[in-house]
Chains A and B, each alone.
Chain A
Amino acid sequence: MVRRMDITGRMRKLGSVVAGEGRVALALCSAVLISLSLTACSGSNGSSAAEDVPRVGLMHVGTDHTPSSFGSLARELDTKYGWKLPEAEVDRCADTKVLVKSCDIRGPKVELLWRNLDPATADTQASVFVRQGVDVIVAFEDKSISAAQKATAGMPNPTPIVFLHPSDPVRQGLTDSLSRPDRNLTGVFGARDVVAKQLELYELLVPTLHTVLTLVDPTDTRTASLLAEYKAAAAALQRPVQLRIRQATSAGDLRRVFRSLKPGQVDGAFLLSPSLRLNHTALTIQLARKAGIPVQAHRKEWVEQGALFSYGSDLAPIGREGARYVDSLLRGKSPADLPVREIPTVEFAINLATANRLGIKVPQGMIIRADEVYR
């Protein structure tokens, strides 16, 4: 136990050191974290100090952000469902402005093990959760959901998984029926990737938008379908735009793409593939800022950090609803008793400061239409 605490403390330090760009260092740290956790677990036979306190393993693949749904889930567990979590710890671990890679929130009734992961370590972390015998796994976004599903497959009594904001639970094979989940997974999903709607709004927001740098990750399985939808939307726009599609998988790829841009070549950037959105939004915002072009985002948190606008699921209610699932599972319900819920609420946020800096005159109607405006 002492060893685990030391490791956790060390990892917190590591987590605070690595921020923003330390991509390699981050991966290295994650690997160290996982291996140390594994060692700790094998040393203690996977037992927890407080054997009678249930544990929830929460995992998210995202090297540059913490989803707001984590914080809302933890707070809802505490306030609405009475699982009593230390408020300061929740605030610290779920801070969306600071990347916290690993954080354990220990309450008297439940323990939350938060892991924010590099894509390469998702599978390992899911296995660690399984070996630790956590009572519930909460997986955020597609990559971690897929890892958790893989790790629990074949278990005689698979660990229940709550998935939050997957792209499409049925198409991803998480369940065959939303109303009657038939595996060990259930959860909440929001609006699907609304790339077409984002492009429409982009055009309305930036009257001078003629050419859009579209960044796609060829290794992301969702890229092809999203690109087709995106292209169809571009073609259907009232004011057609040209798409300059560039492939990128890593941060280096992105830097290379932006370096290759000539001034005035594109009027805005668009992150299309989910893998890029989840791991490189912060970097893209920086690169776009340097290039003097706007970039869209899928979460309002990125707008606050400089993206021109975002249009996507409101994660907070999804996290709150996720707490209901965690509570039910901790109280002994089966995933089959908990139908999957859709919360299709979307949020539209605009950063007028970014617009002003880039000389974009945002139509008044769009400002009125926005749910959140950063000035």
Chain B
Amino acid sequence: MDAPARPHRRLIWKYTAVVVTLVAAATISVGLTELYFTSQDIKRALTRVEKDKASSAASSIRQETQALIRELESVAQPTVGKGQAGLEERVEDFQRVLEREPLVSSLTYLDATGKEQLRSSLLEPVRRNSGIDYSERPAFVRARTDKQYLGPVHFVRGSQPHMTASLSEGAPGNGVIVADLDLSPVREIVERARVGSTGYAYAVDDRGQLVTHPDINLVLRHTSFAELPQVQAALRSNADPLDTARVGRDENGTKVLSAYKTVEPLGWRVFVEEPLSEAYAPLRAAIWRTALLLVVFLLLAVATSVYLARRLVRPIESIQVAAAKIGSGELDQRIVVSSNDELGALADEFNRMAAQLRESYAGLELKVEERTRELATALSELDEKSRELEAASQHKSDFLANMSHELRTPLNAIIGFSQVLREEIVGGVNEKQAEYLEDILSSANHLLSLINDVLDLSKVEAGQVELEIAPFSLREALERGVLMVRERAMRDGVEVALVTNPDVDLVVGDERRVRQVIFNLLSNAVKFTPAGGAVDVSAEQVDGEVRVAVTDTGPGLAAEDHERIFDEFQQTKTGIELREGTGLGLALSKRLVELHGGRIWVDSELGRGSTFVFTLPLEARRNGR
């Protein structure tokens, strides 16, 4: 039987897939590598820009602070005039600073004891000699101890960020100049540091409190950025990182690329940030470029691989088609491949092979034809012989049947007349004559039995035996069989016993033939069992059939005789020695049992008796043939 055809995929697509995979893998790996380095470059460049911008803003704030301090130093000088004149001189100085410095919203002069001598502001009239005590305030205390003081960011009237700066005047006055600074203008400085279209810059003080931010609402709401990771890290760090930016988060949780610079001496940090989505916008462009290149390369790869694969596959397909035709018997097929490469060589080899196959096939056909002819002749002869054998067998059976019939007719006369003589119906016979008559009768009966067996056997072989199937009592058949041999058994000192299972009674079969088998087995058993022995007959139902066993305590059978004794004219050594039996009983029994669809066998060992068993199906065959 042929194996089922496997599904085939087209080679062209395999080649295409391989080439495309290779090209895609190469392009993607090159693209990814390129993207990685591009992203690193972008990050470095952005970091540099952000850092520069932050540094620039921090530097501007520092310069503003220094300029402011210089301005404060310019007014923290002893006045030329003394007393009220000196105070008025200072009023003018303060007014000059207020006009020049947009950060300064008011200036206060404290004397050496921390009492307010003068206050000048943009919104209120000049206040002279108020004597308000500042001596406990940090602006005074720190300026006296540290010469200069820059206070924390605070919110005036809860809104605008302000800061206090103070400067010690030094000897001989030892006064302190206190400036209130409105930090709003710082916003413009920090705003200039923004990068990109969505980038932004902001400043926090040394506690993370927002000083300025593009979203003024955050500043006005006094927002603290101390919780933002980048601000936390910056506040923890003592030194600014060199050229590294970190990924932080804005107040909404959006990831940003962040760089910062510390503003000395204020301790503020200026942060320049840009959302990652925008920071990496050039990277997105690079990704698109790479994707586009990938698509282009893939398309080229597909086109090229399809073209090459077609060129490669077409000769193979020609070979495949030709091979298929050759396979279907068209041996005169030739493969035409014009290429002079391995495929061309393969095609040539294939053509040569096809030619050789064609020649071999032609020779083979002749040989097959010849052998077929010879086989037909042999079969014809065999048929003839078979017919002859069949006829011979038929002749033999006919002969046996005829001969048996012919032999039985005179034998019946012999038996009948011998019985008449023995019964002294026609006159008395002496003892000697009676003895001879008994011998004649015995021999004649033996001969009749032999002839009957031969006749039955020949009928069976000739297929002339028709079973008369009908239900009958097996138990009765067994009892009658036992009854028939009991006389001889008693005579020979052999005990015969019948044991039947209650569930064994009616069976379906030819009663006469079954009785024949039972009698045959029982008579054999009694015949070969020495005096004092026993013959047990049993019947039982096993596996849907009836099993009848006849067990004796006779001499037993050698193992090699177990099969042989069921053949015609075969006897055991004991049988031959005892001159008992004809060698046909068991063969006939076997045929009859098998005609019923049953089996017969013997279990025996030499010296241990024998058990002959036959079975009958519960539903016997209707047709014994």
Contact = CB atoms under 8 A, between A and B. Distances in A.
Are both chains from one complex? yes
Interface of A: 170, 177-180, 191-192, 194, 196-197, 199-200, 233, 236-238, 324, 337-344, 346, 365, 369
Which 3 residue pairs are nearest across A and B when measured between Cβ atoms? A339-B220, A200-B125, A178-B159
A342 B160 contact: yes
A81 B234 CA distance: 34
B452 interface: no
A344 B162 CA distance: 12
B405 interface: no
B100 to A, nearest CB: 11
B158 A346 contact: no
B127 interface: yes
Interface in B156-188: 157-160, 182, 184
B125 A339 contact: no
Given A339-B220, A341-B216, A369-B99, A179 B123 contact: no
B157 A339 contact: no
A339 B126 CA distance: 31
A192 B217 contact: no
A194 B123 contact: yes
A236 B128 CA distance: 9
A191 B127 CA distance: 18
B127 to A, nearest CB: 7
Among B88, B123, B184, B222, the one with the most A-chain Cβ atoms within 10 Å of its Cβ is B123
Given A179-B221, A341-B220, A342-B159, A191 B123 contact: yes
23 contacts: A178-B159, A178-B220, A179-B159, A179-B221, A191-B122, A192-B123, A197-B122, A197-B125, A200-B126, A236-B125, A337-B217, A338-B217, A339-B221, A340-B159, A342-B160, A343-B184, A344-B122, A344-B123, A344-B160, A344-B182, A346-B122, A346-B123, A369-B99
A339 B122 contact: no
A180 B222 CA distance: 10
Contacts of B99: 369
Contacts of B184: 343
Contacts of B220: 178-179, 339-341
B124 A179 contact: no
B125 A179 contact: no
Contacts of A338: 217
Contact of A339 (B88, B128, B159, B182): B159
A342 B157 contact: yes
A343 B127 CA distance: 23
A196 B125 contact: yes
A178 B127 contact: no
B570 interface: no
B125 A233 contact: yes
B39 interface: no
Contacts of A177: 158
B221 A369 contact: no
Nearest to B125: A200
Contacts of B159: 178-179, 339-342
B182 to A, nearest CB: 7
Interface in B411-469: none
A287 B99 CA distance: 33
B155 interface: yes
B95 interface: yes
A180 to B, nearest CB: 7
Given A197-B123, A200-B125, A341-B216, 17 more contacts: A177-B158, A178-B159, A178-B220, A194-B123, A199-B125, A200-B126, A233-B125, A236-B125, A237-B125, A339-B217, A339-B221, A341-B159, A343-B184, A344-B160, A365-B92, A369-B95, A369-B99
Interface in B212-270: 216-217, 220-222
Contacts of A339: 159, 217, 220-221
B79 interface: no
A180 B88 CA distance: 42
Nearest to A340: B159
B105 interface: yes
Interface string B107-132: 00000000000000011111110000
A236 B127 contact: yes
A339 B402 CA distance: 140
A214 to B, nearest CB: 16
Contacts of B105: 344
Contacts of B160: 341-342, 344
Contacts of A342: 157, 159-160
Contacts of A324: 216
